[in-house]
Amino acid sequence: MTYMLRLSILVILLTGFTFGKSFSQLTAPGSSYSELTQYPQGSPNDPVFIFCGSEGTLQVNTSLEGEKTFTWEIYNPQSGQFETYFTEVSSGGQSSITQLVDGGYRVTVVSTSGQEVYRGWIFNHSYILEGGVKESNCDYFSLEAVVTPPTATYYDLESGTQVTLSSEYEVEWKQGESIVSRNLNPTIYNPPTADTEYILSVSDRFGCITELSVMYYSIVTKAVFTADPMSGEAPLEVVFTNQSENGDSDGYEWFFFKDLNEIKQISQGSSAPVDSIKDVAFDHSPIYIYENSGIYMVKLVSKKTSEFYTCTDTVYLETHIVVDTSYIAAPNVFTPNGDGVNDNFVVKFWSMQEVKISIFSRWGRLVHIYENSNVQGFRNTWSVSAWDGRIGGRYASPGVYFYVVEGRGRDGQKRWAKGFFHLYRGKD
């Protein structure tokens, strides 16, 4: 894909000769820059006027009185002579010519009160920019451009010697307000995941700027995701939110690793590669349930397929998902009096697979049993109401009771706890 852009720059080299006592001048209205010519034969230097992005105009102003004849001439480099270009008779003090082609110009102002002569050089300074994306793959893309600067040549009017005017241009590639490179043909690594416009800006010593727009069409992707929650009791349900950029809708692959401690145990004393992957999913944003305690890592691979390449990007969680080890805790007092506060004997357990809670009177008589062979977790409370303080539908007597908790954690460990607690009835 190639783009071309031209910007006209008018270079006006002017000198003035005055005959008579009156003050007059030749100007270039709207010029952006000025300098002096460098004639090799030592002729008087002429002022140089630069026009950026507009057509040049020469204008003569005179204070000569009466009716005046303005004779404009253009220089012929083949003959070395000026030839008539435009003539105007006016009683006013001003004359101008516009839309000038490259070349030297001279104006002679004649009236009954005197004569004035000025000369100058005009160049329609035009850059040609061509550019585009040369190569684009998964790792980088290359921008290339060709800058064809204008050729501006004037002549020493005494000897005919040619003098070339140098633009001395510089280049910049920009993305938005940021400068990407000052090389004409740069290589851009880590390409953006969005289609992006790059601007080639060519500026010269005259302050004139020419720009070329080049569009990069992205073929890469960036894998990004979040996990919530990052810790909790087993079974822990974790929601993975895919925030990847520029991936194919069906181009996501999730890798759920085994428990870190399990991987370490398998790899100890073995030089063979360890299969550390527990599960693989291809959903856009999966929900994964960690049934057992442990420390887990997750990897996402995002894929982008284009005509010539299949680009991938891989990202890991910054920290591990921690599913806590099993845990049991029981209170030492509760008050089942119907006031809505502490009315139940609540046992907390964390990451348990199965649990059995037995409650005994102070004389060792079994008064209540709570059992659950498939504990699914309690996430916010991490607890279960094991006893409401009733025996056979009647309120139990206040006093000291004993509990025994037995179970198996989702880390595979047997857990148990025992102790006593006080039952206070209080006033109804």
pLDDT of residue 420 exceeding 70: yes
The third-level CATH classification (topology) of the domain covering 7-125 is Immunoglobulin-like (2.60.40)
Please report where in the chains the tokens 């510089």 appear, as a residue.
Answer: 170
pLDDT of residue 382 exceeding 90: no
Domain 225-323 has CATH 2.60.40: yes
Residue 318 has φ and ψ, to the nearest 5°, of -70, -30
How far lies 36's CA from each of 13, 14, 45, 162, 427, in Å? 7, 9, 6, 16, 109
Instruction: State the pLDDT at residue 20.
Output: 36
Dist CA 216 CA 140 (whole Å) = 11
What confidence tier does 326 reach under pLDDT thresholds 50, 70, 90?
A: low
Most confident of 12-16, 98-102, 168-172, 325-329: 168-172
Write 86-91 long-range contacts (CB < 8 A, 24+): 91/66, 91/67
Q: Return the bridge partners of 221, or none.
A: none
Please report where in the chains the tokens 């230097």 appear, as a residue.
Answer: 45
Cβ atoms < 10 Å from Cβ of 135: 10
DSSP letter for each residue of 274-338: P--EEEEE--SS-EEEE-S-EEE-EEEEEEEE-SS-EEEEEEE-SS-EEEPPPEEE--SEE--SS
The architecture in CATH of the region 327-423 reads Sandwich (2.60)
Q: Mean of the pLDDT values across residues 78-85?
A: 93
What confidence tier does 398 reach under pLDDT thresholds 50, 70, 90?
A: very high
pLDDT of residue 338 exceeding 80: yes
Q: In sequence order, what are the residues at sequence separation of 6 or more whose Cβ sits closer than 8 angstroms to the Cβ of residue 254?
A: 240, 280, 281, 282, 283, 286, 298, 299, 300, 301
pLDDT digits (tens, 9 = 90+) for 146-156: 999 888 888 88
Q: Which amino acid is at 2?
A: T
pLDDT of residue 2 exceeding 60: no
Instruction: State the pLDDT at residue 19.
Output: 38
Check if the beta carbon of residue 351 is closer than 8 Å to that of residue 323.
yes
Instruction: State the pLDDT at residue 380.
Output: 45
**Which percentage of the chain shows pLDDT scores above 90?**
54
- For residue 91, give both structure tokens: 């009683």
116: left (phi over 0), alpha (psi -120 to 50) or beta: beta
- Please state whether the peptide bond connecting residue 229 to the residue before it is cis, i.e. omega within 30 degrees of 0: yes
Q: Mean of the pLDDT values across residues 418-426?
A: 88
Check if the beta carbon of residue 222 is closer than 8 Å to that of residue 190.
no
pLDDT of residue 10 exceeding 70: no
pLDDT digits (tens, 9 = 90+) for 171-207: 999 999 999 999 999 999 999 999 999 999 999 988 8
Dist CA 68 CA 115 (whole Å) = 9
3-state secondary structure at position 153: strand
**Which percentage of the chain shows pLDDT scores above 70?**
91
pLDDT of residue 262 exceeding 90: no
Residue 267: DSSP 8-state? H
Q: Mean of the pLDDT values across residues 124-130?
A: 87
Check if the beta carbon of residue 218 is closer than 8 Å to that of residue 194.
yes
pLDDT of residue 60 exceeding 80: yes
Dist CA 123 CA 165 (whole Å) = 10
